[in-house]
Amino acid sequence: MSDELKLEILAEASQNHIAAEMDAQILAFFGGSVDAVKRYAHLYVIETEMTPIMGDISDLSFTYTTELHTRIRLKTKEELEADNE
């Protein structure tokens, strides 16, 4: 297996992990109710900020870490109006 393919598989696994964690956080925010998510999610915005932190690099491997901050906030009046246009 090529190094490029290994990196692609690792990146996909990381994305899947982040998505699962975000799903769990969103569900927890709405009290664990899928119905509440379906009913009220359109009123909120999910904002994320990713800060890359480069780690060790060697000839054979590298360590790359990111810090992800997620915030769920109510949409502003302007955002809600834009949604209804």
Domain boundaries, the chain: 3-77
Rounded to whole angstroms, how far apart are CA atoms 53 and 28? 28
Question: What is the tens place of the pLDDT at every residue in 49-61?
Answer: 888 777 777 777 7
Average pLDDT over residues 30-52: 91
The count of C-alpha atoms lying within 13 angstroms of the C-alpha of 66, restricted to the half-sphere facing its C-beta, is 12
pLDDT confidence band for 74 (50 / 70 / 90): very high
pLDDT confidence band for 75 (50 / 70 / 90): very high
* Helical ranges in 30-60 per DSSP H: 34-40
Residue 29 vs residues 25, 35, 69: alpha-carbon distances, Å: 6, 13, 15
pLDDT (0 to 100) of residue 83: 92
pTM: 0.64
Rounded to whole angstroms, how far apart are CA atoms 27 and 35? 10
